[in-house]
Amino acid sequence: LAKTTQPISMDSYEGQEVNITCSHNNIATNDYITWYQQFPSQGPRFIIQGYKTKVTNEVASLFIPADRKSSTLSLPRVSLSDTAVYYCLVVASGSARQLTFGSGTQLTVLP
């Protein structure tokens, strides 16, 4: 499984766009990039997944360059409730389905 590297923490202010970058230099051809969000005292929650280029849903956008060695999670106009830990995961397609969580990024949104 490809190892991921992301910043330990980030601060932002309400209303700003937040970009969290993740490095995954050893990503394999059949791997997907997946992001989870975890609030205190809750289990992680799936945010978004992509393979290449750009994916957007109602919560976030995910940008993946052509070499797929990194990815950027973009959260538009964050609010205080977006304060959470964000995990970048590289997940192999197919039947294995296990998730390997890295250290995550603690995002703190300030008023």
HSE toward the beta carbon, residue 32, CA cutoff 13 A? 15
Shorter beta-carbon distance to another protein: residue 26 or 30: 30
Among positions 8-47, residues that touch another protein (CB under 8 A) are 32, 34, 41-46
Shortest distance, CB of residue 106 to another protein, whole angstroms?
10
> Phi and psi (nearest 5°) for 11?
-115, 145
Stretch that binds another protein, among 8-16, 22-30, 66-74, 100-108 (CB under 8 A): 100-108
Residue 105, CA distances (Å) to 15, 74, 91, 97 in order: 19, 13, 18, 23
Shortest distance, CB of residue 16 to another protein, whole angstroms?
26
Interaction of residue 101 with another protein, rule CB under 8 A: yes
Interaction of residue 100 with another protein, rule CB under 8 A: yes
Q: What is the DSSP string of 59-96?
A: S-EEEE-TT-SEEEEEESS--GGG-EEEEEEEEESSS-
Among positions 64-93, residues that touch another protein (CB under 8 A) are 87, 91, 93
Contact residues toward another protein (CB under 8 A) are 32, 34, 41-46, 49, 87, 91, 93, 97-104
